[in-house]
Structure 1
Amino acid sequence: MTFALFQQTPAAGPPGWTQFIFIGGMGLMFYFLLIRPQSKARKEMEARLSKLKAGDEVVLSSGLYATIDRVEDKHIWVKLGSSVVKARRTAVAALATEPETEKN
């Protein structure tokens, strides 16, 4: 009695280099879907922050609307009502005059 049914030849799989192509493709997708858009948005925000000047109306990251009184190297002085407050440049979330994009 032979056990020919239980003797199977090993199945031939895809060549090993196809795994490297798959991993490389995943890396490219990761770059174009995550890394590139974030770096582009960061560069745009840095450009906006470098162009701030006195008199600009801004929205701070806390949600407060303020007017810039004066600009220093890393800080800005903003008018909130009748008081003037020192804040970091990075606290500016957007210019108040920019159209806001709606997120649904």
Structure 2
Amino acid sequence: MIEILAAGSAASQPPGWTAWVLPVGMLLIFFFLIIRPQMRQQKAHAERVAGLKRGDEVVTAGGLVGKIVKVDERFVELEIAKGVRVRAVRSTIGEVLQPGSAAPAND
């Protein structure tokens, strides 16, 4: 009688691979909802930074808006007002503005 109970309880346990279904599913969800979109954003930012050229109007990560006057390997020189130039690290350029996208506020 003891042998029959032991055999019955062993047959009712799920297979060993089912313990891996939940962790693997969570990793897949984590990858597709968080990691993959972040990789896409990094790639797009790297393309924007690589394509910087003289005359582009850009916004830095610190919020400065200026026109690129000079592009080096690591730095860009921005003109933020007439006669006011600043150097910024090239990777801190957050966005390249389209020409004529916004009207001046003082008009």
The two structures have a TM-score, normalised by structure 2, of 0.76
Question: What letter is aligned with 1:76?
Answer: V
* Unpaired runs of at least 5, structure 1: 1-9, 100-104
Partner of 1:38: 38
Partner of 1:47: 47
Partner of 1:59: 59
Partner of 2:73: 73
Partner of 2:104: none
Partner of 2:4: none
Q: How many Å apart are 1:63 and its aligned residue?
A: 1.2
Moved over 2 A (4+): 12-16
Is contact 1:65-1:96 (8 Å) kept? no
Taking the aligned partners of 1:18 and 1:39, their CA distance within structure 2 comes to 31
Any idea what the Cα deviations from partners look like across 1:56-104, whole Å, max 9, x if unmatched?
A: 00011111210000100011011011211111011111012288xxxxx
21-30 vs 42-51, which deviates more?
A: 21-30
The percent of aligned pairs where both chains have the same amino acid is 35
How much is the aligned-residue C-alpha RMSD, in angstroms?
Answer: 2.1
The two structures have a TM-score, normalised by structure 1, of 0.78
SS of residue matched to 1:84:
strand
Partner of 1:88: 89
